Amino acid sequence: MFQAGAWLIDTTYGWVHNYAIAIALVALAIMILITPLTMKSTKGMLEMQRLQPEMKKLQNQHKGDRQKLNEEMMKLYQEHKVNPLASCLPLLAQMPVFIIMFRVLSGLTKTDAKTGLFDPHYISDSSDLSIALRQVSKMMSFGLDLAITPADAMRQNFAHGIWYALLVVLLGGLFLVQQRMVASRTPANGSMSPTQAKIMQYMPVAFALFQVFLPTSLVVYYLTQTVFRILQQGYITRRFYGEDGLGRQAQAASASAREMGKDDAKPSKQKNEQSQAPAPIQSKRVTPSKNRPAPSGRPSRPVPPSKRNK
């Protein structure tokens, strides 16, 4: 697998003879290859959202019977030909690709301890990329050394390292744009918890900080893919979220399911309020009856003679 990734970079470098452009072309090729998976997962996710009212009904019908609920859910998925795991396909496809690219780019810039020059792995010694790298100790492209991390670049020369930092900032900004494009299609409904909202808010910052400690070549790789994703999200919005599109239907179904959830929550809320209401305080003082005889052990009051005959 590593040889295949290195072969892609080697081949594109043979066309353009520029490290950054070669890496960007490989990133584009990978994104184009997984685009069908992305479109399929998007459609599957919208189909799942459109089924939310029916799923809510099943949950209400089979409360307390988890096994029966799962069986009915599977029947519903099969009836509508929906795969609940479809939305995970692009992520599952990209994770191994990221690992491969990280290993390949790190292997291409391995340094020979004796000469201080690159000793690239995974590619043939006679390839154009191998010949070019074996003569240098820096992977220079557009004035930047793609072999070092932005953090190392700033430690070596802070003034020049600012350009590396700007790449990371640009990547974080593009990732934020992509995130907001996706969020704009989801109506603000209050269903997201404050913790989830905070995570989504700071995710671009965390993602950018993570890139500071990766080779700049990987930053270029992610920059290219993020630009592609932004364009892809624009296409998804036009295709699925037009008037009467699948996305609009999914949004309406989600809103309906939320209303059903609110209606179901009202009786339980009222019941909880009643159970938590304080019980009325009853007086413990007992007033004895006028005709009740005095308790034993206490002397009774004498009855006046005038009242005895009445």
pLDDT of residue 52: 75
Contact 239, 190 (CB under 8 A): no
pLDDT at 189: 46
Provide the pLDDT for residue 45: 79
Instruction: Please give the C-alpha separations between residue 59 and each of 2, 44, 52, 112, in angstroms, as whole numbers.
Output: 47, 21, 10, 63
Which pLDDT value is given to residue 282? 57
| pLDDT at 222 (0 to 100) | 93
Residues 6+ apart with CB under 8 A from 121: 2, 6, 107, 108, 110
Return the pLDDT at 276: 61
pLDDT tens per residue, range 242-256:
666 666 666 666 666
Nearest Cα to Cα of residue 207 among 175, 181, 183: 175
Range 67-76 contact pairs with CB under 8 angstroms and sequence separation of 24 or more: 76/51
What is the per-residue pLDDT for 207? 80
Q: Which residues of the chain have pLDDT under 50?
A: 188-191, 310
How far apart CA 67 and CA 241 sit, in angstroms, is 35
State residue 224's pLDDT score: 96
What's the confidence (pLDDT) of residue 190? 45
Give the Cα separation of 195 and 185 in Å (integer): 20
